[in-house]
Structure 1
Amino acid sequence: MPVNMNRLANVALLCICLISCAFGQEKPAGREKLLLDDDWKFAFGHPSDPVKDFGFATSYFSYLAKAGYGDGPADPAFDDRPWRQLQLPHDWAAEQDVDPAGSFSHGFKKIGRAFPERSIGWYRKTFPIPAADKGRRIAILFDGVFRNAQVFINGHYLGTEPSGYLSFEYDITDYLEYGGENVITVRADATMEEGWFYEGAGIYRHVWLQKYAPLHLEQNGLVVTTAVQPRQAVVQVGLAIRNQHTIPQTYTLKTRLYNAAGALVQQKKIAAAKVGALAAAQQQVTLQVPQPRLWSPDAPYLYTLETIVETNGKETDKLSTAVGIRTIRFDAREGLFINNKAVKLKGTNNHQDHAGVGVAVPDALLEYRLKALKQMGVNAYRCSHHPPAPELLDLCDKLGILVIDENRLMGTTGQPMSELKRMLIRDRNHPSVFCWSIGNEEWRIENNQIGATIAQTMQAYVKSMDSTRPVTAGISGGFRSGISNVLEVMGYNYMGNGDIEAHHRQFPQQPAMGTEEGSTFSTRGIYTTDTAQQHIAAYDKKPRPSFFSIEEGWNFYADRPYLAGLFIWTGFDYRGEPTPYGWPSVNSYFGMMDICGFPKDNYYYLKSWWRDTPVIHLLPHWNRQGQEGKPTDVWVYSNCEEVELLLNGVSKGRKTMKRNGHLEWQLPYQPGMLQAVGYNKGQQTITETIHTSGQPARLALEAHNSQLKADGRDIAVLTVSATDNNGYPVPDAANEVVFTITGPGKIIGVGNGNPSSREKEQFIEEQINLPLKAEARTENKQDTSYRFQGSFDLPGSFTGDSVVFIYKSIGVTQTIRINNQVVATELPQQLKGNRFSIQRQLLKPGSNTVVITGRAIVKKHDWDVVNTDPGIIQLVIPANPWQRKLFSGKAQVIVQSTGGTGSIQLQAASPGLQNITLHISAR
């Protein structure tokens, strides 16, 4: 097993902390934010059967009636040794098979009401808190749990978070064991869907432990706004200093602004300020920035704001915040302006799941997806339809991608408004966020007065908290009344749903953009629609009579200056909503890229007109055996002035490219070489050539990242494909490929982009827990001896080698026999019990006996609860090899660092093909 150096480093750091505490060294000052993703235990519970839910909420003092009486897994003494160990982020839905009884909108995964035994997930983690932390404030922060998360610490109920998308935090200072171990428990309930698309299940974003002094900057209490003036910018910083001491405090506040090179630009100091006991003080700081570098999608320049709180000359808190100086202005006649420069929105809508991993997307994979969008020419991202992971916004700040940050639920009662507020205060400092969205396609209220009133209230609330950004919503139920009339910026969802030009004439002072357009269907690499296979030809066509092709949609928005631009539905395919089909398709068909991020042909249409660099792309591929002599539609996407098409070296004509258009030829299919040549100003600029390939002969592997950080989190996205004997790609290859990995890396997911594929995405070890059936118990109270006899049934189908007895002490001493063979002799009682590997030759199919004898545990008090459960037998079924079929010639493997350094070797093998091994270094 590879050594996880990151975890070893954490253990070493913990040891140093404990040693420091033992010698009485001063506890660390200031703020610490520690990632809490490693070494969680996980098991499935049940929404209605208490036995299958580990007896949760069945005790005399249920978990809400008395403080500290969390029962079942919420009890810190609960034995979670049989549970699976894993690393966050984790999406248990991605691990499940698909089934026609599953939810259409969630990709037919086996979770939800029809699958109660896979709809409740329990998570537990034990972690130390050094004694030196006594006196600090400590909080646990969840970036996102799907969903309805009940959270406990050391048996104390902290609260329930119903939303599957919002960050939430609990101050656990008063509940902790300082100098000892602590247990955090989360029960996630994914029985009920929140949205109409795949949402995953579990703790699918990061968890953090935050430590800070009682005098500190309030969480999300810092807000930065910028104003651009002639020859300078003004950075206004508002913040709250929270005092959780029981006496007033005097503090000094320092703010420093650094440029991207780390040079100090401006600083301010407020000395001898006061804050009352258990109170917060508000401060405002103004910083002038001469000759500022402005943030924009083309040049995402970031400053760093450092904010420091000191008392008695010692630092008690420090925060670093990225600052982008920029202006936003919507004009009802001329569209969007960033820094007074017109910007046409070239955006995509995006859900948050990816092939193989579901919604548990590592940060490096988020970056991979965003860079794939940037490569297409995207400058804007709509979070459809919920707040994103905080890390996504950090990346958009750095990469220069404008973001519509979207609220998940329209409403003006306490919970919806609280969720809206939490989104606003968490995300308001990101320069990438240029617009808030208060809702999407609220058909029942879109066109009536109730909808208008709710929208007005929410919009006014947003503006009261952030006057620097406009408010929008996605409207698809007709553009004529209700919410449409009151929005600050109109969001059109599909121009086929109403008359956009008529609406603009009626509301000429209302800025507007296309929040959703396109919604076209296509299957990557498929050029003949096959209803039986549920494959849709990738030529850009109207998806439905009232909708428009990608080309028609972009032309409509590009030609109208008053429309700020559009967001295509969608950037990537996603699980669920397999419109226009249903089962057995499990993914959508809408993306410009498939669920792996492999480009479809529409990607190249948009890239042609969304980027300034020369682009040329041919479709279809030129493997069309059996179609010889038959007419074949050939399309070219390009931004060149002219394109010439050649088949086997013979010109088929040179045509002029219309702005925002494409070119078409129809020729009889003839195997060989098809070539498109682009010309600008009469000079050859760019060429694409495709060949008719032979049969697959060898595999190819390519990694987007050949060197990983040895941090246990970095990833490499690998593309596996097939080539023929001449080295030409085989675009219709469908070979089954098996993957093996060695070295300090692991495979975390596989995919191929086929929307109707029902193959597994993850291959994980299976654990089967067999309870011991108690058959007889005898106890001699005179000499306190006892005897337990039970049995378990070993399935005849079990062929694995790993059988483990996870034993809980039921005596002060005990001797254990299985099928009359001694497993352990005179074991002393242990709080955490014992674990025995049982040799297979001791066992037999069917019933096996277990006899435990020894000296009984004697109660000290009448109310003591003595353990009588001897534990379970656990069968471990090894995971099947990682494998995936190529689809349209490609598949994807995601490899993640395990924390060690060295060489990772990934081998791809397929019968009849030459195998390949790729080396990735981990440093």
Structure 2
Amino acid sequence: MRRTLGFILILSTMLLSRSTVFAQQTPTPTKMNFDEDWKFSLGHAADPEKDFNYKIANLFAKSGKAEKTAIDPKFDDKNWRGLSVPHDWAVELPFTKSANVDVLAHGYKPVGGLFPETSIGWYRKHFNIAKADSGHRIQIQFDGIFRDAQIWINGFYLGNHQSGYLGVNYDLTDYLNFGGENVLVVRADATQYEGWFYEGAGIYRHVWLNHFDNTHIVPDGVFVHAEVNPVNAAVRIETVVENLGLTDQKVSVLNYITDRNGKKIAAGISQPLNLAVNGRTTATQTIELNNPRLWSLEDPYLYKVVTVISVDQKKVDSVTTRYGIRTITIDASKGLFLNGKHVKIQGTNNHQDHAGLGSALPDALQYYRISLLKEMGSNAYRTSHHAPTPELLDACDSLGMLVMDEQRLLNSSPEYMNQFEQLIKRDRNHPSIFMWSIGNEEGLIQTTSIGKRIAQTLIAKQKELDPYRTSTYAADLANVATGVNEVIPVRAFNYRQFAVADYHRDHPNQPLIGTEMGSTVTTRGIYEKDSIAGYVPDQDITAPWWASKAETWWSLAAENPFWMGGFIWTGFDYRGEPTPYEWPNINSHFGVMDVCGFPKNIYYYYQSWWTDKDILHLSPHWNWKGKEGTPVDVWVNTNADRVELFLNGKSLGKKEMPRNSHLKWSVPYQPGTLSAVAYKKGKKITASVQTTGTSYAIRVTPVKNTILADGKDLAIVNITVVDQKGREVPDASNLVEFTVSGNVKIIGVGNGDPSSHEPDQYLAGGWKRHLFNGKCQVILQSGKDQGTVKFEAVSKGLTTGSAKINVQ
């Protein structure tokens, strides 16, 4: 849901006051990005003096009392670091070896209770607002702060927000200096973890400044749902309106629908309401839409539902909701149907970090990551194990990816009920969401009567707020139906794949889905176990005791219609939770892609059976100097019918391809060309790997060469090395240095090595990274000036690689 912009906002920077200035009255309603021009400094959890006197000063003795602290509007922050959010200060910190299990699980970053000197972050922002805006409501909106955030405006305390994964809004109106400077202050306390994986630290999602009339639509106050039949859709729109003015108001609510380009195609009738002072009410309207274009995985078409609030025939508020019309049906015997078409869930679990950036992901990276998953054949995404950033859901809506949206904890206390309610209200208009999850692996209570009662409370709330979807709970249990599983509508399995059939036999009327499946551990480009460096072979052969190989679970899910499908653990490697090794590992091995999004070999197993593309992939690479004559296990992943393998033109035999499986040959190594010829329904497909020469030149491959001059867009640049014949060298490990000219900056680097302790960010410049098995990645972010910039990658003894990026 987005507030309609439709305004011209003039921004400037006053050097003397260091303030963002609204140089003219800001028209309402607006939702203005508030990410730029923040000041940042680390505090100290154990030393109040180093924490800018926090916990020394008597802050709560009087309203607005903030002297001698960083909360004071007059505090001198000129020596603080200037930055824009989203910002994750944890990713900037060095890796720290620790025996503590939670530090290990969080990727060995010095954040948490054991690291008081690097676990508190202070943010300050100066801004001005025109006097003419004094009749408006002005609200600050934080989409995500990790975590335990204390927030002040002009020394006045606004509140404490605990969740690191759901945002918070505060009305600033009463405390603002209209026509003068204002100072917003945030203290983020990351000494307490929420999860058991890398979580980051700081204001790591967007911040917005919202202007609206005293009579307005409440935040997340529009709920859209469509009842669909073969010829039309009845689009039901519920709008919550409130009056925070000082007099009663007569209000009218009008809704209309446009196509994706903004052309009005259907409208309702203006609905009158009477609102008392501080009154709040819900207006409900239904609009008939003939022959709707349905949202689907292949055609994720989005309409726009526009809701307009007027007082005395003057528009005072408007909200535009992107909405996809579609139907979801779940059958206990046959699985899931989208718009009446059967869909097997081919999903991935993912945390929210990426190489080089930690958890502070620009919007463009959300779209990039979802596009990589779709290319593999994935059609669903589980937000494990917390509320996602809104932009991730926007990407799934736009690109066609189903979503299971998950609550952080199975808890019905006021704190967590508020989080659950906020999650559903915020996200329920997204067509990508097909199911809610009320929690994950709550081993202490999941089989108890306490767990059952908590689940019932959460399920009742879900049905109240969104009666059109259902819910599940991710249970690490076999054929067990006590506690949460007695009452949950959809039974979900984390692993325990061999118990699914037994459970279906005993509970034939309960739909089943795999919420965590697989968990093969692999290291991209590695083919021998190395417990010292912390690497495992890049094939589907190694899984923890509690998990399974990819082929094991998918063969079961694919062949049994009562399985709705499942979500593999995971789509991407992620920071923290290193498995099966600990230090020097600092991230997981679970992904079918590494932390940069470079595919591992298991990627091609899933792509073979999750798509209709012509897939024929050989592994490993064919650079094995010194192993001449030694047998090498060659894997072939394909969805062809049969394959013939060749070494230097000599046939090594033909094999039929078993469905949902792979083929393997043992081949005595000889340098040259390993090739395969496959036939798929009579169509010939070929693939090969070659022994390469030594590294000769750097190859620079931008994912896109043109980016927007908006200060936010990205150019993701992948780096490889080639030999003199232009063949990519798969085992190259060169150190590569990066420079970029013009109005573009490097914001992160990575290479997918789960044991690399190189910095992800070089705040003082001098950006560089070693290749890991032939690859590394650089993330560039645009400035606001148009032009062409040059990116260069340099390594000693190699020909320099370069690329031009157009910023427009």
TM band (smaller chain): over 0.9
Q: Is the 8 A contact 2:353 2:361 kept in 1?
A: yes
Q: Per-residue displacement from partner, 1:509-556 (whole Å, max 9, x unpaired)?
A: 110100000111100011111222211001102413453210111111
Cα deviations by residue, 1:338-391 (Å, 9 ceiling, x for unpaired): 112211000000000000000000000111111000100111000010000011
1:654 aligns with 2:631: no
Distance in 2, Cα, partners of 1:281 & 1:159:
26
CA contact (8 A) 1:541 1:548 kept: no
Q: CA deviation at 1:898?
A: 2.0
Aligned to 2:90: 93
Alpha carbons 1:152, 1:185 under 8 Å: kept: yes
TM superposition shift of 1:28? 5.0
d(CA) in 2 for partners of 1:506 and 1:479? 9
Tell me what 2:4 maps to: none
1:677-708 per-residue CA deviation (whole Å, 9 max, x = no partner) reads 22123331x32221101111111100001111
| Equivalent residue number for residue 65 of structure 2 | 69
C-alpha contact 1:30 1:315 (8 A) present in aligned 2: no
1:9 deviates by 6.3
In 2, distance between residues paired with 1:18 and 1:283?
34
In 2, the alpha carbon distance for the partners of 1:111 and 1:905 equals 36
Contact 1:252 1:269 (C-alpha < 8 Å) held by counterparts: no
AA in 2 matched with 1:900: D
Give me the TM-score of the superposition, normalised by structure 1. 0.84
Letter in 1 for 2:469: R
Query: Structure 1: which amino acid aligns with 2:159?
Result: G
- Structure-2 change in CA distance of 1:310 and 1:84 (3 Å): same
Number of the residue aligned with 1:669: 669
The corresponding residue for 2:222 is: 222
Give the match for residue 483 of structure 1. 484
Is it true that 1:725 corresponds to 2:724 in the alignment?
Answer: yes
Quote the residue 1:882 is aligned against.
Answer: 767
Q: 2: distance between equivalents of 1:226 and 1:272?
A: 23
Which residue is 2:116 aligned to?
A: 116
Give the CA deviation at 1:727. 1.0
Deviation at 1:229, TM superposition (A): 1.7
1:574-589 correspondence to structure 2 within 5 Å: 574-589=574-589
Q: Secondary structure at the match of 1:269?
A: coil
- 1:274 CA displacement: 2.0
Q: Deviations over 1:863-882 (max 9, x none)?
A: xxxxxxxxxxxxxxxx4x11
Deviation at 1:63, TM superposition (A): 2.0
Is the CA contact (8 Å cut-off) linking 1:237 and 1:284 kept in structure 2? yes
**CA 278–578 in structure 1, closer or farther in 2 if over 3 Å, else same:** same
State the alpha-carbon separation in 2 of the partners of residues 118 and 53 from structure 1: 11
Q: Please report how far the alpha carbon of residue 654 of structure 1 lies from its aligned counterpart in structure 2 after TM superposition.
A: 2.4
Name the SS of the counterpart of 1:364 in structure 2. Answer: helix
Counterpart in the other structure of 1:854: none
Matched, 1:902 2:787: yes
Pair 621,131 (structure 1): closer, same or farther in 2 beyond 3 Å: same
Q: Does the aligned pair in 2 maintain the 1:70–1:157 contact within 8 Å? A: no
**Kept after mapping to 2: 8 A contact 1:349/1:381:** yes
The residue that corresponds to 1:321 in the other structure is 321
Q: Give the match's secondary structure for 2:460.
A: helix
TM-aligned CA deviation for residue 8 of structure 1: 11
Which residue of structure 2 lines up, in the alignment, with residue 367 of structure 1?
367
- Asked whether the equivalents of residues 40 and 121 of structure 2 are also in contact (C-alpha less than 8 Å), the reply is yes
Q: In 1, distance between residues paired with 2:475 and 2:678?
A: 40
Deviation of the 1:281 alpha carbon: 2.5
Match in the other structure for 2:250: 250
* C-alpha contact 2:512 2:564 (8 A) present in aligned 1: yes
Q: Deviations over 1:179-205 (max 9, x none)?
A: 111100000011111100000000000
- Find out whether 1:891 has 2:791 as its counterpart: no
Task: Assess if the C-alpha contact under 8 Å between 1:70 and 1:152 holds in 2.
Answer: no
On the 8 A contact 2:495/2:546 being kept in 1, the answer is no
Q: Which AA in structure 2 matches 1:319? A: V
The answer as to whether partners of 2:536 and 2:542 remain within 8 angstroms in 1 is: no
Aligned to 2:236: 236
CA distance in 2, matches of 1:344, 1:36: 41
Aligned residue identity for 1:754:
D
How large is the RMSD of aligned CA atoms in angstroms?
Answer: 1.8
Sequence identity, in percent? 46
Moved more, 527-536 or 381-390: 527-536
- After superposition, the C-alpha distances for 1:753-797 in whole angstroms (9 at most, x for unaligned) are 0001111111113xxxxxxxxxxxxxxxxxxxxxxxxxxxxxxxx
Partners of 2:410 and 2:293 in 1: how far apart?
Answer: 37
Q: Is the 8 A contact 1:447 1:478 kept in 2?
A: no
CA distance in 2, matches of 1:435, 1:65: 47
| 1:477-626 paired onto structure 2 within 5 Å | 477-480=477-480, 481-495=482-496, 499-626=499-626
Structure 2: segments with no counterpart, 5+ residues: 1-7
What is the CA–CA distance in structure 1 between the aligned matches of 2:199 and 2:730, rounded to whole Å? 32
Closer, same or farther in 2 for the Cα pair 1:211/1:147, shift >3 Å? same
Q: What CA distance in whole angstroms lies between the structure 1 residues aligned with 2:192 and 2:609?
A: 42
Does the Cα contact within 8 Å between 2:19 and 2:181 map onto a contact in 1?
no
- Distance, in Å, in 1 between the alignment partners of 2:456 and 2:251 is 41
Give the letter aligned to residue 61 of structure 2. Answer: A
Instruction: Give, in whole Å, the separation in 2 of the partners of 1:328 and 1:18.
Output: 45
Asked whether the 8 Å contact 1:57–1:70 carries over to 2, the reply is no
Confirm or deny: 8 A CA contact 1:136 1:214 kept in the other structure.
yes
Q: What corresponds to 1:78 in structure 2? A: 75
Aligned in 2, Cα 1:383/1:15: closer, same or farther, shift over 3 Å?
closer
Judged with a 3 Å threshold, the aligned counterparts in structure 2 of structure 1 residues 272 and 107 are, in CA distance, closer, same or farther, namely closer
Question: What CA deviation, in whole Å up to 9, does each residue of 1:795-819 have, x standing for no partner?
Answer: xxxxxxxxxxxxxxxxxxxxxxxxx
Partner of 1:703: 702
Aligned counterparts of 1:652 and 1:54: Cα–Cα separation in 2? 71
Q: CA separation in 1, counterparts of 2:49 and 2:250?
A: 55
Deviations 1:254-276 (A, max 9, x none): 21111234332210122543222
Cα deviation for residue 228 of structure 1 reads 0.7
CA-to-partner distance for each residue in 1:288-339, whole Å, 9 max, x for gaps? Answer: 1111111121221111101111222321011110111111121111111111
Matches within 5 A, 1:9-88: 10-11=11-12, 20=24, 27=25, 29-59=27-57, 62-71=58-67, 72-88=69-85
SS at 2:105's partner residue? coil
Please state how far the C-alpha of 1:661 moved relative to its aligned partner. Answer: 1.5
The one-letter code matched in structure 1 to 2:493 is: Y
Equivalent-residue separation in structure 1 for 2:145 and 2:465 (angstroms): 26
Task: After TM superposition, give the deviation of residue 610 of structure 1 in Å.
Answer: 0.7
Partner of 1:441: 441
* CA distance, structure 1, for counterparts of residue 23 and residue 573 of structure 2: 52
Letter paired with 2:35 = D
Work out the CA distance in 1 between the residues paired with 2:544 and 2:118.
36
After TM superposition, list the pairs within 5 Å mapping 1:261-276 onto structure 2.
261-276=261-276
In 2, Cα distance between equivalents of 1:18 and 1:462: 40
Structure 1 Cα separation of the partners of residues 134 and 10 of structure 2: 23
Structure 1 residue runs without a partner (length 5+): 1-6, 21-26, 766-878
Q: 1:16 to 1:353 in 2, by over 3 A?
A: closer
Moved over 4 A (4+): 12-20
Structure 1 counterpart of 2:749, which letter? V
1:29, CA displacement in angstroms? 4.4
Contact persistence 1:29–1:316 (CA under 8 A) = no
TM-score by length of 2: 0.96
Q: Aligned with 1:716: secondary structure?
A: strand
Aligned to 2:5: none
- Matched residue, 1:341: 341
For 1:602 and 1:131, the matched residues in 2 are separated by: 60
Query: Which residue type is aligned with residue 674 of structure 2?
Result: L
| Equivalence for 1:845 | none
Change (3 A) 1:286 1:665: same
The DSSP-based 3-state class of the residue aligned with 2:798 is: coil
- Secondary structure of the equivalent of 2:104? coil
- Structure 1 residue 495, shift from structure 2 partner: 2.0
User: Is residue 761 of structure 1 aligned with residue 760 of structure 2?
Assistant: yes
Query: Following the alignment from structure 1 to structure 2, what is the Cα–Cα distance between the partners of residues 596 and 230?
Result: 43
Q: Name the count of aligned residue pairs.
A: 793
Mapped to 2, the partners of 1:507 and 1:445 lie a distance apart of 22
Q: 1:746: how far off?
A: 0.6
